């Protein structure tokens, strides 16, 4: 009886530790850890997209200490900065009137792009990591946000005041279909800083993604995910202690091979008649395919509205539709839709095309 009591006490003490174990590699742990301050509070989990390949992203994150974790496309989780310290991941940021979000948040970088779907194995790894951190810091689902939620821009030639819309980083993590995959039932209902007039809307398309009904990932995540392989120390402990189901013996009926069906008689060969071959239809051009050249833009009815110059901004040329998906930018033989253009990357000489 005594040994049973001791075993129960030991397991009870161990379970909280196991359930909070984060299965992460220290291969890219940043050397800047000792110089980073301990965070006084944790109020948000901020999800980012690297917008670059895995190797370069991990080296940069490690060197500069720009995140607490990084999740690769293969589902590997790397620890960059200790989770109780400050990581410089949010930059110029504000949330509910509080600036410098680094001081009260955990940053997770995910290898990928803000407008492209991620592999299921990566989504599953992000979900596990987020849920473990939520449990540790007692954070509700609406406290899991993306970088776009918190980043803001200083006054510039396009916006005369502070504005929300400096970054589209992590934008897909605001979309309902992706949040459902991550097990997040709620998202922030509105931008408290815009509502309080501390900031103005600088990117209307981004606003519709963060707080509206725009969800470009819906088709990518339409099918339910396959049963994920659980990871982490607690999951390993649970699998080790779960007995395997006994194999079922085949039934006698299954052991006997079924009699072979009789071979059908060959059908009589019909005499060939000379029939004129049907003309092949002309290949259809998919309307969903984006134009890749100026020639295609013109063929689809687009006209040149203007060229960005020193005193001629994109908003002066295209107005509120400067970042619309139906507006296109061309430069150096590249065609970029408006909803994928980064405001900071709009340069002199860019041509803006819109419908007639």
Q: Mean pLDDT by 10-residue block, N- to C-terminus, for the chain (356 residues)?
A: 44 40 89 94 97 95 96 96 96 96 97 96 96 96 97 91 94 96 96 96 95 94 67 43 48 50 57 51 52 87 87 85 87 84 80 88
pLDDT of res. 152 = 95
Question: How high is the pLDDT of residue 268?
Answer: 57
> What is the C-alpha to C-alpha distance for residues 246 and 238, in angstroms, rounded to an integer?
18
User: Which pLDDT score is estimated for 88?
Assistant: 95
Neighbour tally for 89: CB within 10 Å: 26
Q: Which residues is 337 bridged to in the sheet?
A: 328
The full DSSP string for 23-65 is --B-TT--TTGGGSPBPS---EEEEEE-SS-HHHHHHHHHHHT
Instruction: Report how far residue 119's alpha carbon sits from residue 338's, in angstroms, rounded to the nearest whole number.
Output: 26
- Number of Cβ within 10 Å of residue 349's Cβ equals 10
pLDDT confidence of residue 25:
94
How much is the pLDDT for 242?
Answer: 46
Strand ranges for the chain from DSSP E = 44-49, 69-71, 77-79, 94-95, 98-99, 105-110, 144-146, 152-153, 163-164, 200-201, 302-307, 328-331, 334-337, 351-355
Beta-bridge mates of residue 99: 94
CA dihedral 33, 35, 41, 43 (to 10 degrees): -60
State residue 12's pLDDT score: 41
Domains, the chain, with CATH or none: 20-235 (3.40.80.10), 294-355 (no CATH)
CB 122 within 8 A of CB 75: yes
d(CA 287, CA 266): 46
| Torsions phi, psi for 355 (to 5 deg) | -65, 150
Please tell me the pTM assigned to this model: 0.62
Backbone angles phi, psi at 330, to 5 degrees: -130, 140
């Amino acid at each position: 009886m005594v040994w049973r009591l001791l075993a129960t006490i030991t397991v009870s003490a161990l379970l909280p530790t196991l359930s909070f174990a984060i299965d992460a590699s220290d291969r890219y742990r940043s050397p800047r850890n000792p110089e980073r301050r301990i965070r006084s509070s944790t109020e948000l989990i901020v999800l980012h997209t690297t917008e670059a390949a895995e190797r370069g992203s991990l080296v940069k994150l490690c060197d500069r200490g720009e995140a607490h974790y990084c999740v690769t496309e293969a589902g590997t989780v790397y620890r960059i900065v200790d989770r109780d310290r400050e990581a410089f991941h949010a930059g110029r940021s504000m949330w509910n009137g509080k600036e410098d979000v680094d001081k009260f948040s955990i940053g997770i970088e995910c290898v990928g792009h803000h407008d492209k779907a991620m592999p299921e194995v990566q989504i599953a790894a992000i979900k596990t990591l987020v849920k473990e951190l939520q449990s540790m810091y007692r954070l509700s689902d609406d406290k899991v946000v993306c970088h776009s939620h918190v980043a803001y821009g200083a006054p510039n030639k396009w916006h005369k005041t502070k504005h929300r819309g400096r970054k589209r980083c992590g934008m897909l993590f605001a979309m309902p279909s992706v949040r459902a995959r991550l097990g997040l039932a709620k998202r922030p209902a509105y931008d408290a800083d815009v509502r309080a007039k501390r900031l103005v809307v600088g990117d209307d398309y981004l606003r519709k993604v963060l707080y509206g009904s725009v969800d470009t990932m819906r088709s990518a995540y339409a099918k339910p995910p396959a049963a994920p392989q659980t990871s982490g120390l607690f999951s390993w402990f649970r699998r080790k202690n779960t007995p395997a189901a006994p194999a079922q013996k085949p039934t006698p009926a299954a052991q006997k091979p079924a009699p072979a069906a009789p071979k059908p008689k060959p059908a009589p060969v019909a005499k060939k008649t000379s029939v004129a071959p049907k003309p092949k239809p002309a290949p259809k051009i998919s309307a969903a395919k984006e134009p890749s050249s100026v020639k295609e833009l013109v063929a689809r009815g687009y006209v040149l509205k203007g060229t960005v110059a020193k005193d001629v901004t994109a908003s002066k040329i295209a107005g509120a539709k400067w970042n619309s998906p139906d507006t296109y930018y061309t430069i150096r033989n590249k065609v970029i839709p408006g909803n994928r253009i980064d405001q900071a990357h709009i340069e002199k000489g860019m041509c803006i095309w819109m419908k007639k």
